[in-house]
Each structure stands twice: as C-alpha cells, then as structure tokens.
Chains A and B, each alone.
Chain A
Amino acid sequence: MIYELRKRGTSAMNIRSQNSSVATELPQAIARMSVEDATRLSRRSILKTGAAGLALGVYLARGGKAFAQQPPAASINITPNTFLIIGSDNTVTVLCKHIEMGQGPFTGMATLVAEELDADWSQMRADHAPSNPGLYKNLAFGVQGTGGSTAIANSFEQMRKVGASARAMLVSAAAAEWNVPAEEITVENGVIRHSSGKEGRFGEFAAKANQQPLPENPKLKDPSQFKLIGKEGVVKRLDSAAKSNGSAVYTMDINEPDMLTVLIARSPRFGGTVASFDASATKAIPGVVDVKQVPMGVAVYAKGFWAARKGREALKVTWDDSKAEKRGTGQLLSEFRMLSNTPGKVVKEEGAVDAEFAKGGGRIVEAEFVFPYLAHAAMEPLNSYLKWDGEKVVSRFGSQFPTPDMAVMAQVLGVKPENIDLKTILAGGSFGRRAQQTTHIAFELASVAKAIGPGPGVKVVWTREDDMRGGYYRPFALHRMRGLVRDKKIVAWTDTIVSQSIMKGSPFEAMTMKNGLDATVYEGSNEIPYDVENFRCDLHQVEIGVPVLWWRSVGHTHTGYAVEAFVDELLEAAGIDAVEGRLALMSKKPRHAGVLKAVAELSDWKNAKLAPGRARGIAVVESFNTFVAQVVELSMTDDGPKVHKVWCAVDCGVAVNPDIIRAQMEGGIGFGLGHILYADIPLEDGRPVSGNFDTYRSLRINEMPEIEVTIVQSTEKPTGVGEPGVPPIGPAVANALAKLGLKRPRQLPMVPGASV
C-alpha cells in the first residue's frame, strides 16, 4: 500500500534530517523536508522527465473522466488547464489541490493566480481538483494532501506561475489576433488592451491562448507590484455566498437516487471485534435493505439515515474484547505518573543538567501538566460516498489525503487506481480528522461497498456519537517539568514527557520516526525558544490501544502549554516580567521576539490599567514555521475563567490574504480556548464517555472573547495559519490566572466535568 508515498518519503527524509525540527504532522513527516527542498526536488524530476511544469494539458485529453461534471460546455481550457479553466463568460476557475475545510485555500490559491494573471477579483472562482498525485501533489509532501498548514507555503510560487503563464499565453494570442507586438499589450483587471484602442477579455482569447506555447519561465511580479497579495479589502472569500444560502454541498448532502445510507455498529472499546450478531430485528425495520459484517463492525444498509439508525439500534452484537483496550483514563494517569518519575529516552540534552541541579542553591520549581484525550468533533460528522460497478469507482467526500485514500480503496476493491475517480469536496471542518495515518475512512468506505457488492452508491455516515467515541484523538499526555532559577536566571530545565505515538504502527512508522521516537509527541518541547544552558527533554512513548491522531497543531497542543506555562512560572519565581524576561532569553529567536514585542505593544502590556478582578497573561508559540503571541485578559467566575479579550500577533512571512489570516487566528483562538476550558474524552474501562456536545462542551458565542489581531510585516516566505493560532491561548490563560493569585492549571480541561 502507498508505495509511491513510501518511496518519496524515504528520500525526502534524508533531506529533512539535515534540517531542524519542523517535522510534525504526518504529511510533513512523510516528506520531512522544507517546501524549498521539495520544490527543488520536484523541479529536478520535472526536468528529468522532460515535462514542463505547467504543460499538463495532456491530462484532460487522456483522462477527461475526472472532469465528468466540468468544465461547463461553454468553457475553454486554457493551458495550464490542470489548474485553470477560463470560461467563455470570462470566469476564471482555479482548481484547488487542497481541501477547502474552512481554512481558505479556495480563496488563497485564487489570489495567487489572479495576482499574476491580472484578473479582476470578481471573475475568480474555485473548485476542488480531482485526485491525481502527479498533477496535484502537495510540494511539501510529494503526494496530494492537505495538512501541516502547508497549503499557501507550497503553492506560493507554483500558483503564481500558473497565473503568469496563462497571462503570457493570453497576451500572445491577442498579439497574434491584433497583429501587434506582444510587448505593446497590457493586462489590467481582466482586460487585455493595446495602445491602438483594441481591447478584449479573457474569454475571447482563451481558445487561441491554448494554442500558444507555454512560457518556459514566466516572469513573476516584484512584490511591490502586488495588487491582491497582502492587500486589505480587495479579496473576499470565494465561498461565503454558497455558505450563507444553504447551497454549499458537503458529503453529508450527497443524495443520489438508489443510494444506500450506511451506519456501522463499531466496538464500544477500541480493538474489540465482532464475536456474533443477530440482525433479525434490524431487517424487520422498514427501509433497512441489508446487514453485513465488515472489518470494523456490522454495517446496516438502508434507505436514508433514519431507517439506518433505527436498524442499528435494533441490532444485537456480541463483542469479543479479548484484544481490546480496557484501561480507563484514571489508570492511564497513574501509569503515566509512575513512568514520568523515571528517565525516558533522551530527545535532546545540552549542558550538564543533573550536575546543575545537584550544585544546590537557587530555587527549584516543579510542575506536572496533564492533557486529556480530545476529539476533533468537526461540525460535519465523518462520512464518505462511493459507487462502483465492479471496475470503475466514483467516490466523493472530504478526503484530506486523497493519494493514500485512493490507494487503499484500490486495494480493498481490487481495482486499478486509475479506475478510481475520487474528488474531494467541501468538508464541514476537519482539524486534522479527515486525514489519517491509517486511511481508515477510505478503508471503511471501500469495505462497506465491497461487502454489498457493485451497484448502488453507499454513503457511510457517522452519527455525532460515532464521531466522538470513534477515537483518533489528540493523545493523552503528561509533562513532568523541573526548572532551576538562580540569580534571576533560568539555569536548568528538564521536561519528561509521557504520551502515545501517532506514527507508530502506521505505514509511515519506518520513515517518520527517529531512534524510535515520534517527533509529533515532543515537537516544541525539545527546542524551546529560550536560552537555557542546561537542558534535557526525554520521552516515554507508551503503547495504548486507543487510536490517536494529529489534532489542529498536533504536539504543540500540549508542548506549547507545558513550555509557556512553565517558563512563565520560572520567570515569576525569578521576579522578572513575563515579556522582558522572555525577550532577554530569546537572543537566537528574532521572530519569536518580534511577535512578542508586537503583541505587547498592541495590548499596551506595560501600562494598561485593568479593572479590579481582571488579569492578563501572555504566551508565544511557533508551530509550522509560523510565530504567534497572544495576550489574554480574563476574570474568574463560578463557571471558570471568563476571557474578555485576546490580543494576537502573527508572523507568517508574506501575508497573502490578511483577512483570512485574521479569521484563522480568531478561529484558532476560539477552538483552543474551548478545549482548554471544557473538553475532555475520559475513558471508563476503555470506553469513551463523552458522546455528544452535552458531555463534550464546545465554546459558545457568549464565551468567545473580543479579539484583536496584528500581522507582523515580513518578507520571509509565506507559511500557514490554519493551526498556529491554537497553541498560545491555553498557556496565556494559565498565566493570567496566576496573576490573579490562582494556580496555573496543571490538568486540563480547566473546568472539569464541564457538561452543559
């Protein structure tokens, strides 16, 4: 399975290992290389095969199947037609290789293309690209997929080149038509003009442009010429209207004639299997069509959701729990605690940490931080759709990782990958859940289709409870920290982590783990942004039968909290201001320092007069090469902390879409805040307790703080913003609570047992 991936991943990893510690989320871990490395690599392979990067028109000619529903009859495919369709109505549709799950790649990709094409924003549209790793691979991964906040980073140059090439070809076509030199032609806001007064629009020239040669190396604008990139108020999201009138179509909305809706009875404990089942009552329910055993449980096939649900309720399944995980989170916590008092495998060590502690003198600060299992609980519960005739497969769902998903479908159904027409469609959120190291959603979908055989389409639907109790959680984690403060200086720091690996046991284990240790567990803890001479980070990587997964900002969800709450506590012990103290230790971290200063200024950290009962806290975390600092102002209530306002500074290199960056910071803060305050998936005897939003409390509008965001001006390469807004909010809240004279919460969530 996934040979392509393995091959690329391995070679990529060598490149990465010379680099720093960025490798985090699976896709990044697969590639283990920077976007630049990958771009270089793919350019090289393009040269080798002799295919010009953008001259991919052959694709349509050969395999038009993926475009069954597009392009519309009237439109013409201008090369590079794999990324761009120019309609005779002058619309420009960008085929987005990244899944639109709210984080804004439709708008982002279109911005990059439109900038170099000199299109008018009103003519821009976007749609998902079909699954085709050769054309639509993420240059940071080598396969088609979205994650690790890489969408803009890996596409910045590629999509601009698409726009620049198309522009050059349109200009050549107009020059030929008008019989004038191309150099005398200008393009502005979607209008092609010659000094003679001749003018035309893209639609008129699209067909002829398609006959023009593809420019070898299209010239890109100097940033000073940008009209859309980084500009305020010009670019609006392309998907807002459809998402405000009910017309946006998600997987849940697929409603094909004859389609069967499938609910699966899955083991209440992870690792349990079907011992036996009795479907007689189920089959008597009107609307139930069939019941089949599948590898992950028992599938009920029905006409519609309600019949499937009633059918599943009537099902009697006996589970074999002999191999199931039966520990509860209480037991796990005791085991974690014991382990954390013994040395783990060293991830990073500097100076002589034990000797420093042994010297005596100064003040030792110790802290234990405990982080619960968390569900992603995207607003649209998991689901998927597939129809096959025994040979050809059509599949539509919010697939965040189409290449491996397609590979596993091909394997299960015994069809050739080229006979699978998989297209990603809009996802009602994901936060990491729609990409899995095990590709279990695609595996399940194909298994369900196979069990009933070729014919009607099947839509697998997870109820909210299925989704929330279905595992693939943010791992349960414990950090035991020890710090030494002497003469107003932090002189020693240790962090012993106990948690579960995300990569281990997955097909990617061999290429994503170093010395048997998973970077997604310790990222952020092994390289803290502070100068501390004597330092150690060690790890106990434990085996638990609960499936875990990357969850919006992955390891930083807990390492960011542990590091930032602890450094604040040490600075407090040393009697140094939280901002001044951090800055003094950031000699080698100018971008961390930059956002810290920016947020201190934005919030008037030094001079702000606070109302009685209010306090402020600060934190700064880098994740996915994006730097974010946040200040919170809060007070304490009977229902826990009430956050009134958050100030946020972000440095993500060149800011492509400032308003989307702001939106992602706002959303990241709200998402992070809701979870550190309220969210927990406790296990009882191995069974997840929380099943819906009544027991897995989500942030609501009355709990959302006011938010002010500043984007630090930068000429660095753009980096992502989908995840990095999340990590700082938790420790910033903890640090503000300390200022109120309360303890920094040692165990999350801060408001335990928070069911509404």
Chain B
Amino acid sequence: MTELERRLRALRDQRRAFVPYLMGGMSPRWLDHLEALVAAGADALEVGLPFSDPMMDGPVIQEAALRALAAGTTIETVATGIAERHLPVPVVVMTYYNVVHHLGLERAASLLSEAGALGTILPDVPLEEIGPWKDASAGPGLATVLLIAPSTPPARVARVAGASEGFVYAAARMAVTGHAEGTGDAQRVVRAIRAVTDTPTYVGIGISTPAHAAATAEWCDGVIVGSALVERVLESDDPAALEHAARPFRAALD
C-alpha cells in the first residue's frame, strides 16, 4: 500500500477529507496560499503543474495555468516550492502527461517524490496507458490516482478502481473542471466504486459551494474543490481571503 493510501485511510476514521486544488505558480504567493488552505483545514492538497493545453480544465483553471506559465512555472519550480515549505498534509500533484513525459518519466517521478509529493493525477492518461507512469512511480513510492467518470461502465469501474492508488477520484459529472450546480452524478459514481473497492473515494469536478460539498460528503470519503477556490486567488492575492473562502468548505464537511 502506498504511503498516500495509508495516510488517507487513517484520516477516514476521523473525518471527511477536504482536498483543495491550487495551481502551482499561479500567483507569486502560491506557497502562502497553500499554507492558507492548510490553516483553513485542508487534509491534503492537490497542486497543479501547468500545461499549455489542459483538456480536462474549464476557463478558471485554464486562466490559472496561463498565469503560472507566464510566470515561468515549471515542474522544477513547483517541486522546489513544495519541498521548501514542508507542508504538513499530503500533496498530490495534478498535471498532464506531456509535462512528465518530456522530462522523462523516471526523472519526473523522483523529482516529485523527493519534493515530498505522495501522489499524482494525470487526467489525460486512462488505465490502458498508465502502465509506464505507474512503473516509474513505484520506485519512489508515488501513488498514481485514477479517475472514474459517470460514463465508466461497471466492469471497467472495477478495473480502474482496482488499479487506483492512494484514493479513487470520482468525477461528479460529465464535464471538465469548473462551476456547476448540485452534486451531479456523484452518488451513482461513488456507489459503483464502493461496490468494488474500499480504497478511499473522493469526489471532484464542479463542487462549487460548501452546500455541494456537504451533500456530496454524505456518500464519499472526501471532496476535491478546485475552481471555486482557484477563482478566489485569481481575484485576490491575499492568502487571508483564500483562507476565508476555504473555511466554510471545512465546516460543511465536519
């Protein structure tokens, strides 16, 4: 079992996990923002590595990626940043395959692991293509998190969930990241995952309000909140403002 999964299983016995997402390098104070999220009660952090062509992201995270790239953000700068801060909660890096492929899978996996990351999410790499990255991640002990979508047929849910490490990422809806109404297909997707695995299952994609988070948390082990918080950082560079926006999500889950 990966270190990430051990940590998240232990957490499950205490509370529903709050996992905010932030794009690495999107503002000069992005590391302060990550600390603000920890102060607001984040149980783990999902940190984006920007890619020029983020096909699973809507306008808010696209804008964050553009800003991060314009500021010269690379896998190295993000790795250095998170290594320096010694964040007290697990960090999971989300990026697209080309970023790690270009550096070399083994080099990228050790770089992220040495920086302290415990897992990765590559949303453009499905089960059939994840082998090489999983192999490269196994040595340094990085968990490879896989997604299940509302469109994933039952037989496939078993295979993907079985292969996911750390946690299973349940997509709440057929959509890219961004704002949405309600809890979408979350309940159905989580139920399908729960039927085949007891790996912690977190819901993300379009969880926009504390009320969505609370409703979703009824069925799963944690929620991932991206665009709703990233948008705050696009609006204001003040970490206190982000902490203020994140606290209600924490409260909704407790």
Judge: A and B partners, yes or no: no
Q: Which A residues form the contact surface with B (CB < 8 A)?
A: none
Q: Which B residues form the contact surface with A (CB < 8 A)?
A: none
